[in-house]
Amino acid sequence: MTGAEVKATSKKYVLQSWSRQKATDPIPVEKAEGIYFYDYDGNRYTDMSSQLVNSNVGFGNQDIVEAIKEQAEKFCFVGPAYAVEPRARLAEMIIDLMPDNFGKVFFTNAGADANENAVKIARMFTGRNKIFSRYRSYHGSSFGAGNLTGEPRRYPLEPGIPGFVKFFDPYLYREPIAFESEEAATKYYLTKLREQIIYEGPDSVAAIVMETITGSNGIIIPPKGYLPGVRKICDEFGIVMICDEVMAGWGRTGKMFAFENFDVKPDIVTFAKGVTCGYVQLGGVAVSSKIAEYFEDHLLSCGLTYSGHPLACAAGVACVSYYSKAKILDNVNQVGKVLGEKLEAMKESHPCVGDVRYIGLFSAVELVKDKATKEPLVPYGKDPDGTMGKIIGELKKRKFMTYSHENMIFICPPLIITEEQLTEELAKLDEVLGIVDREYR
């Protein structure tokens, strides 16, 4: 097929996610390598969002490709009840990367079903039914994960499933209270969370689920002491602490998992995306030894046809090995420092930039109409004039490929990006922010 044929056929037959179908204009991709992909006319685009913040090692990683080929030559699939080498090896590798209180892994197909199964496991383990999660969260769009989600993508699922309770994030930039310190903010948010748990009945609360660092809703980094404080509340009331590491995990923050930045040990960790970087889809739920031991004598009522798919696990073994082999964490911390410095400079120089938030190669630029009032460039949950789409379109013209959510632009490049590549691309962002200053405020 030609590029035009690929595009036309896709438009005719494929429903594209999160889109009004008439407005979609997909780029027909012919090939990809490293941090770049190419259309059929030879135009090169730079992947500055790691696709959906999952393509951590970029395109064309031969270690992963060869591992998939090798496994495919043996067999592509047997059911999850059989023991197969890549599944066993990957589970062991993941537990070795987790804190010392972890025991086993239940594999899923992606992040949404990882979160759904984590909720089921917490409910079975505790015998309780209520699940706390935050408003500015995205945990997936399937029915269970969508009820766990707090932001507007949950609306089509309402009225939802009973027992899902929302609480507010420690989003200091948008908080009307002017806290004297991060610690003061932490005390406030934890006090309100503990109070809400008491109002809901602590004996009915099975789990608190959090993206360790809020991803698609703005790269919201918890203030000092917040996650250890949540851990303390969970311990006080016998609540399972679940960290959703689907987006923030696998080196994205400069640590293998984001919770390592905050000196906490969760009870359950969900993961997906960067475990295979999309070469074959895979997710999972890592559980503490205590939870794993419980299911030695109690039924684990979770099951998926493709749980621990051998091709996916082979890709996962190669991918996780590559993180170490290529010293990916070193690169994330080195290049991430440059990213932070350049984003801070843009915040100083552009009236449209209200805030920048970053950790490792996980970052967002929050756009405002007025820095003093912090009025967002587009209202929450709405973009009636398509403003953010136009801004992303300006970046697309410059072959800087990323996405926006609410009033934020995300800069989450593949973890293999070099300082030179980053500098080249951020110059394009700087140019587009100048257009926003002049035309969209």
Question: What is the pTM (predicted TM-score) of this model?
Answer: 0.97
Q: What is the pLDDT of residue 61?
A: 98
Helix axes 226-237, 182-200, angle to 10 degrees: 20
DSSP notation for 357-423: EEETTEEEEEEEEETTTTEESS-TT--TT-HHHHHHHHHHHTTEE--EETTEEEE---TT--HHHHH
Q: Judging by beta carbons within 10 Å of its beta carbon (0-12, 13-18, 19+), is residue 347 exposed, middle or buried?
A: middle
61-101 pLDDT, tens per residue? Answer: 999 999 999 999 999 999 999 999 999 999 999 999 999 99
Classify the phi-psi angles of 386: left when phi > 0, otherwise alpha if psi is within -120 to 50, otherwise beta.
Answer: left
Please tell me the distance from the alpha carbon of residue 20 to that of residue 15, in angstroms, as a whole number.
Answer: 9
CATH class of 63-325: alpha beta
Cα 32 to its chain centre, rounded Å, is 22
Q: What is the dihedral of CA 419, 420, 422, 427, to 10 degrees?
A: 130
160-177 pLDDT, tens per residue? Answer: 899 999 999 999 999 999
Does residue 10 have a pLDDT over 90? yes
Mean pLDDT of the chain: 97
Amino acid at position 244, single letter: D
CATH of 3-57+327-439, picked from 3.50.50.100, 3.30.565.10, 3.90.1150.10, 1.10.10.60, is: 3.90.1150.10
Where are the domains positioned within the chain?
A: 3-57+327-439, 63-325
In a 13 Å sphere around the CA of 286, the CA atoms on its Cβ side amount to: 27
Does residue 115 have a pLDDT over 90? yes
Q: What is the mean pLDDT of residues 324-350?
A: 98
Percent of the chain with pLDDT over 90: 99
Q: What is the mean pLDDT of residues 312-325?
A: 98
Q: What is the mean pLDDT of residues 316-338?
A: 98
Q: For the stretch 405-432, what's the b/e string if a residue is b when 16 or more beta carbons lie within 10 angstroms of its beta carbon?
A: bbbbbbbbbbbbbeeebbeebbebbeeb
User: pLDDT band at residue 441, thresholds of 50, 70 and 90?
Assistant: confident
Q: What is the pLDDT of residue 265?
A: 98
What SS3 state is found at 430?
helix
Q: What is the pLDDT of residue 214?
A: 98
